[in-house]
Chains A and B, each alone.
Chain A
């Protein structure tokens, strides 16, 4: 029993560390493969980009509107009502929709939707031995499969961040209207508080999320093992690792951004 618990709890932790190392190596190889000529991955890049776009727009739309309507919308309205400052709701949306919820929800949805699809796809190719066949034919799977997904996912998550922010603000407006408030002050406090630093910080953060998702999901797909459970397991592990990585990176990034740009904090 004790051994069993140890196996279930500790071994995965050690394997996880080893895997993080492997993923770092994969990141390095991906970047160098992307930069070194030749560049055969253009077509794959475009198709992956469109694929992610097609798959994610709808879940992301529902998710951001729902989340922003409820959390910073209704709940923060409650909070500000306490201070008699409901007109400040726009300010809170800078923090919520732009700085945190936009990029985080985009990352969560992209990992859960596009990331899992990538892992399932590459995992399928792995167990059908297509990846081995590619290598035998002298084609580098990193350059031809990982690089286009890496670039496409970075671009697509960056763009989706703006999409998520827009629909997030829409959710906030909805909440404002449900509370029976005029929308004018919402826009005023929003634009008074939003800075370009907020926006580029958000998009930059999200782009890096995209890179993390791509590496984790490609890695898990390409190392899927055979057997009936292989690909499913790979997808399962890919989302778990991606979510934890997103959370950890987000915390570091927020700390850094707030500490190095104190002017973000001044409410106007």
Chain B
């Protein structure tokens, strides 16, 4: 019984420490200390673009297909196939694609950071930075956060475009209950700029949490290569839960009880 609650207890115990860590790193970025290492931030941004963009887009695209397929069949069954566009629009923009983004961010970027920083920690590289008079937390963590903030909005919006395309393919080309024009009319009718902004905010809050959790587990890794592996696995657990909680809170705050749609509600 005791072991069943080991995980929640561990999280409770670590909340304060993780919170302080996140506060320090965000402070470094807001306060501009990170600008000492602007070159390193750009380098990290480059690495992020080159090594993570494609996989993140891939998962967003696949889930876009699924939103389209399920939406097309569901509305056909409800006798309103023309409205597949609403389903797809909301499924993509408001809910599922932000999750897809969060999942792949956690998997690719979050655990990647843990593996990398953890390896630096156990081979004394972080200590080496410190004794060279470099604030390692700013140099390693704040630069990664800044890089994420620079790159991810564009990456996310482009990936959203891909997901829209995927839904279109699924609804119009593949299932085909509705014409292209009819689908697109409804699809665009039911979203507006605030929706895009809300969706982007949701995704960026997820990304921020993921990068910070990754940095926390990597920066504080110990216990040799094995310890780094364990820390990587643990970061994934926390990140998954955070992604879901942030998704839920975002929906509640932005769209709870407010359809935000062009016809009465």
Q: Is any CB of A less than 8 Å from a CB of B in the complex?
A: yes
A contact set with B: CB distance below 8 Å = 5, 8-9, 54-55, 57-59, 62-63, 66-67, 69-71, 74-75, 78-79, 81-83, 88, 91-92, 95, 99-100, 105, 108-109, 112-113, 116-117, 119-120, 123-124, 127-128, 178-179, 224, 226-236, 239-240, 242-244, 247-248, 250-251, 254-255, 258, 265-267
Q: Which of B28-36, B99-107, B127-135, B153-161 contacts A (4 or more CB under 8 A)?
A: B99-107
The reply to whether A267 and B233 contact each other, CB–CB distance below 8 Å, is no
The reply to whether B123 and A228 contact each other, CB–CB distance below 8 Å, is yes
The reply to whether A75 and B255 contact each other, CB–CB distance below 8 Å, is yes
The reply to whether A127 and B70 contact each other, CB–CB distance below 8 Å, is no
Tell me the total A-B contact number using a CB cutoff of 8 A: 217
**Nearest Cβ in chain B — how far from A227, in angstroms?**
7
**CB-CB under 8 A for A59 and B103, given A75-B90, A228-B122, A243-B59:** no
B residues near A254, Cβ cutoff 8 Å: 66, 69-70
Cα-based distance from A88 to B77 in the complex (angstroms):
12
**CB-CB under 8 A for A250 and B265, given A63-B244, A231-B225, A239-B236:** no
The reply to whether B7 and A59 contact each other, CB–CB distance below 8 Å, is yes
Of B62, B99, B112, B114, the residue contacting A67 (CB under 8 A) is B99
Cα-based distance from A109 to B66 in the complex (angstroms):
19
What would be 9 A-B contacts, judged by CB atoms less than 8 Å apart?
Answer: A88-B78, A108-B103, A120-B229, A127-B225, A229-B225, A240-B55, A243-B104, A251-B62, A265-B76
**Nearest Cβ in chain A — how far from B240, in angstroms?**
5
Q: B73 in the interface, Cβ–Cβ < 8 Å?
A: yes
B contact set with A: CB distance below 8 Å = 3-8, 50-51, 54-55, 58-59, 62-63, 65-66, 69-70, 73-74, 76-80, 83, 86-87, 90-91, 94-96, 99, 103-104, 106-108, 111-112, 114-116, 118-119, 122-123, 224-226, 228-233, 236-237, 239-241, 244-245, 247-248, 250-252, 255-261, 263-265
**CB-CB under 8 A for A232 and B54, given A240-B104, A247-B62:** no
A residues near B70, Cβ cutoff 8 Å: 95, 99-100, 254
Cα-based distance from A78 to B259 in the complex (angstroms):
5
Query: Chain B binding site: helix, strand, loop or mixed by DSSP?
Result: helix
Cα-based distance from A239 to B214 in the complex (angstroms):
14
Question: 11 more A-B contacts (CB under 8 A) besides A228-B123, A254-B70?
Answer: A67-B248, A70-B252, A78-B257, A78-B261, A95-B70, A112-B106, A113-B236, A124-B225, A228-B228, A236-B115, A242-B107
